[in-house]
């Protein structure tokens, strides 16, 4: 019997993202309500694993024309989708696109707020990612971590939270977010 190589886990395919980023999602995960306590006019934000920009677009409205949203994803198809949607919404001057790779953010800006929503469980080295997020945040910056309850075990989510604390973050809150376990951290 021939040995089959183990198939590596890949990121959510960009061409399926439209099934996930739709009007129902805007009702279930309204960014303006979820992030209002931590995001405001003129801030700089990193939406890491931005997908097609569900949160990037909403965050761009929240930070306004003096702010900046860095939409970061490893898939060019996702970033192309964000670019199209930002252009249609008149937000292309607020949203900057950054392509990372599987092992590194390759992001060298500093931000006031960083978001990872339903994506850290797909990363091969979450500890490294959390350390990179810590470095890119300004002092006093906020990191919002949300993972899906449905297919990510509670123990895995707790391990991710512990890794965030190990990276240097201080836990501020565990806000209720539909279908998710969420944590808000601060860089002191």
* Tens of each residue's pLDDT in the chain, 188 residues: 444 433 344 566 655 555 566 677 678 999 999 999 999 999 999 999 999 999 999 999 999 999 999 999 999 999 999 999 999 999 999 999 999 998 999 999 999 999 999 999 989 999 999 999 999 999 999 999 999 998 899 999 999 999 999 999 999 999 999 999 999 999 99
* Cα 71 to Cα 59: distance, rounded to the nearest angstrom: 10
Would 22 be classed as within a structural domain?
no
Would 178 be classed as within a structural domain?
yes
Q: How many domains does the chain have?
A: 1
**CATH number of the domain residue 78 falls in:** 3.40.50.150
* Cα 33 to Cα 102: distance, rounded to the nearest angstrom: 31
Would 34 be classed as within a structural domain?
yes
Burial of 144 (0-12, 13-18, 19+ CB in 10 A): buried
How many other C-beta atoms can be found within 10 angstroms of the C-beta atom of residue 173?
Answer: 14
Q: pTM of this prediction?
A: 0.90
Which range marks the domain in which residue 173 is found? 29-186
Of all residues in the chain, the percent with pLDDT exceeding 90 is 82
* Cα 95 to Cα 75: distance, rounded to the nearest angstrom: 17
Burial of 89 (0-12, 13-18, 19+ CB in 10 A): middle
Residue with tokens 């099934």: 19
Would 12 be classed as within a structural domain?
no
């Amino acid at each position: 019997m021939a040995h089959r190589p183990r198939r590596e886990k890949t990121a959510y395919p960009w061409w399926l993202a439209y099934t996930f980023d739709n009007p129902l999602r805007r009702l279930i995960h309204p960014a303006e309500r979820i992030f209002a306590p931590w995001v405001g006019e003129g801030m700089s934000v990193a939406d890491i694993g931005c997908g097609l920009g569900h949160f990037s677009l909403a965050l761009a409205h929240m930070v306004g024309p003096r702010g900046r949203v860095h939409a970061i994803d490893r898939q060019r198809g996702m970033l192309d989708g964000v670019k199209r949607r930002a252009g249609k919404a008149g937000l292309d001057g607020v949203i900057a696109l950054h392509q990372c790779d599987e092992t590194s953010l390759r992001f060298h800006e500093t931000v006031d707020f960083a978001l990872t929503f339903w994506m850290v469980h797909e990363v091969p080295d979450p500890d490294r990612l959390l350390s990179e997020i810590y470095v890119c945040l300004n002092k006093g910056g906020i990191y919002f971590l949300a993972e899906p309850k449905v297919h990510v075990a509670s123990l895995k989510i707790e391990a991710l939270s512990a890794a965030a604390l190990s990276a240097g973050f201080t836990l501020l809150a565990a806000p209720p977010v539909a279908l998710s376990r969420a944590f808000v951290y601060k860089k002191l």
